[in-house]
Amino acid sequence: MRPDLDFRTLRAQIEAATWVPDFTALYRRAGRVRLRDRMAVAGALVGTLAVLAPVALAGIFGRPAPNVLGPNPDLADTTSPSVAPSSTAGYSSTITVLAAAGNLPNLVAAVDVCVESPQARRCSLQVTAFGDKAERRTPYVLDALRSSPLDKISGVQLIRIAPDTFMLSGEVSGASRSNVRFRLTDDPQASRSGQPVIGPSEHLPLGTADRAVQLVQYGDLFGVRESDGTMSLIGQPSMARRTVVSGLPSAAGWWVTGADLHTGAPAVAVSTDQGQIWLARTLDAPAGIDVPTVVSQDGHNAWAFVRYTRQIRLFRTSDGGANWREVRTSIELPASLKTLENRPFGVLIRPDRSLLLWFQADGATLFLESKDGGESFVTGSGPGGAIAPVDNGFASLGEPARVSTDAHAWQEADLSATVLPN
């Protein structure tokens, strides 16, 4: 007889063989892991926003509005800015001497007075007394040439065309050169912006003390009578890129540098009869990066420096520009001067006939000098800034500004009071 089946034991064996795991605990654990990962991502996003949000807000709300930045020449916008700082108080200001002219000890200087406000640098070009005893307390000219204190200005020149009459010129915001003529007796308020100088339309008699000027770069030359500052038409030298040589004594005649009309080679022209006849000569050299720089003390002996990217070629005349010979001495440039392009450069001849070359590079002024008429050059010393010849001496436009009668001994110069821009 067969024994009875034990259903309880059989059921337990079947359930053990077919058991399926319970995933509930796994689901709960996976949920906790996902929650932890999401919280980590959210924390990273919050940290990133905490860093970037202030920068974004500053870019949106801290940027000056377009009318604060001034007119946009690309959009033909000529209107002056309508929003301006209400006061310049509390902001630092700078005074930069850009040019000087006249007779020592009573020179005049063109200075740019700027206020370094946070949103826009505001400047005023002024002409003021300059020298070892500058006693005048008000500028001769205020807010010259610019139509807005936000305009950029470059290439400022100041020349004396009569005993008390001067011409100030410069390139404003990349535009063509503009000029203003003034007398030292003018009311500075009346000379605040000045009237542009218009070229003359007739020929007037000129004397040996009268000067030649240009109203635009490479433009026509005009004669100016020393007695009253009246301008006159004159003959023009036959050359391109005409540039009047400034800083020469009136007895030296009129000298103009430029380029040969056919070859583009550097050229020099001289007139000893106030522009009626010009003696033009082409130098035996390829075109440089600019027109030649010429210095002369007596109008007979003169030196012409032609600049290239890494070289200067020197030419000399001893017969008033009729014949030029190249001085073969190599001018060794300072090692720190890697290129001459876009570097302010100047040459002066001292009363003892020594030559002084200066270069500006990376905020410093470098000097070379020659005591043998340009046959050799050695490292020299100077006042520490660009040098401008004046009628009876020299003015250094560095910080501090200095003046000298011989370009050897320099003394600090006084600059009379200036006015902060509005």
Q: What is the pLDDT of residues 123-163, one digit of tens each?
A: 999 999 987 666 777 899 999 999 899 999 998 999 998 88
Using CA atoms, how far apart are residues 227 and 129, in angstroms rounded to an integer? 22
The answer, yes or no, to whether residue 343 has pLDDT greater than 60, is yes
The pLDDT value recorded for residue 123 is 94
pLDDT for the residue numbered 78: 38
> pLDDT of 250-269, one tens digit each?
889 999 999 999 999 999 99
* pLDDT value of position 292: 97
Q: Is the pLDDT of residue 45 over 60?
A: yes
Which pLDDT value is given to residue 415? 87
Distance, in Å, from the CA atom of 235 to the CA atom of 328, rounded to the nearest integer, reads: 34
Mean per-residue pLDDT for 58-72?
Answer: 41
Q: Residue 135 class from Cβ within 10 Å (0-12 exposed, 13-18 middle, 19+ buried)?
A: exposed
**pLDDT given for residue 88 in this prediction:** 55
Q: Higher model confidence: residue 398 or residue 39?
A: 398
Residue 74 has pLDDT above 90, yes or no: no
CA separation, residue 163 to residues 214, 230, 389 (Å): 19, 12, 17
Burial class (CB in 10 A: 0-12, 13-18, 19+), 168: buried
Amino acid at 116: E
The answer for residues whose C-beta is within 8 angstroms of residue 378's C-beta and 6 or more apart is: 368, 369, 370
Cβ atoms < 10 Å from Cβ of 164: 15
pLDDT at 191 over 60: no
pLDDT at position 91 is 82
pLDDT on residue 14: 66
Give, as one character, the DSSP assignment of residue 2.
Answer: P
Provide the pLDDT for residue 361: 84
What percentage of residues in the chain have a pLDDT greater than 70? 76
Mean pLDDT of the chain: 82
| Percent of the chain whose predicted confidence (pLDDT) is above 90 | 50
- 163 preceded by a cis bond (ω within 30 of 0): no
Euclidean distance between CA atoms 322 and 344, whole angstroms: 29
CB 116 within 8 A of CB 148: no
- At 118 the pLDDT is 81
Query: Where residue 240 falls among pLDDT bands split at 50, 70, 90?
Result: very high
DSSP character at residue 96: E
- Here the contacts of 73-77 (C-beta below 8 Å, separation 24 or greater) are 73/173, 73/174
How far apart CA 302 and CA 242 sit, in angstroms, is 18
* pLDDT on residue 84: 40
